[in-house]
């Protein structure tokens, strides 16, 4: 890439391809913003002459921006859910045990969601957090509705197993500590 007009002409020629690539990762209402941000980022490159494959560079930039968006959205979701949990727990001010248990449950759930495979996590978050329909998710991510159903089922199953395993481990720790206390009495 040598000059700004070349950057612009390449961008205009692949703008639809950028939109398609980004639409597989982020919600529809954010696609255009990310595609435009791609153009801004490419224009800000200090030495454009070093870019040997501008089309690939733009596609990779768009993909990275979309993935960054998903990461930020995941963090916002966690922060938002943390705030909601805090608000809901405000009624338990007199019961520190309940407040601690609720915070731990929520933290475990967030950890369970983070453990899901990337595509499964995207589908699961779009369905359970953002309330997308299966049809909207399929269109958004460019996958079939049956694949969406499988990811949702897999996400629910994996989260439940993760939480069950964590609960079993904490129960075992409580049982062990109570046995060791009883033995010392």
pLDDT band at 3 (very low <50, low <70, confident <90, very high): low
pLDDT at 140 over 60: yes
SS (H, E, C) the chain: CCCHHHHHHHHHHHHHHHHHHHHCCCCHHHHHHHHHHHHHHHHCCCCHHHCCCHHHHHHHHHHHHHHHHHHHHHHHHHHHHHHHHHHHHHHHCCCHHHHHHHHHHHHHHHHHHHCCCHHHHHHHHHHHCCCCCHHHHHHHHCCCHHHHHHHHHHHHHHHHHHHHHHHHHHHHHHHHHHHHHHHHC
Residues 30-66: pLDDT tens digits?
889 999 998 988 888 888 778 889 899 999 999 999 8
Domains of the chain with bracketed CATH: 1-71 (1.10.1740.10), 118-185 (1.10.10.10)
């Amino acid at each position: 890439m040598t000059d700004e007009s070349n950057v612009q002409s390449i961008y205009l020629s692949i703008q639809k391809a950028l939109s398609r690539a980004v639409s597989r990762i982020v919600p529809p209402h954010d696609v255009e913003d990310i595609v435009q941000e791609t153009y801004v980022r490419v224009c800000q490159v200090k030495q454009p002459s070093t870019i040997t494959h501008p089309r690939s560079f733009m596609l990779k930039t768009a993909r990275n921006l979309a993935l960054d968006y998903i990461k930020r959205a995941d963090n916002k979701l966690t922060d938002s859910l943390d705030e909601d949990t805090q608000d809901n727990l405000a009624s338990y001010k007199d019961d520190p045990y309940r407040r601690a248990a609720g915070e731990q449950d929520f933290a475990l759930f967030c950890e369970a969601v983070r453990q899901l495979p990337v595509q499964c996590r995207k589908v699961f978050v779009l369905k359970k957090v953002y309330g997308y329909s299966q049809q909207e998710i399929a269109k958004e991510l460019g996958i079939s509705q049956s694949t969406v159903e499988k990811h949702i089922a897999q996400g629910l199953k994996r989260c439940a197993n993760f939480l069950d395993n964590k609960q079993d481990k904490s129960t075992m720790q409580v049982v062990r500590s109570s046995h060791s206390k009883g033995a010392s009495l």
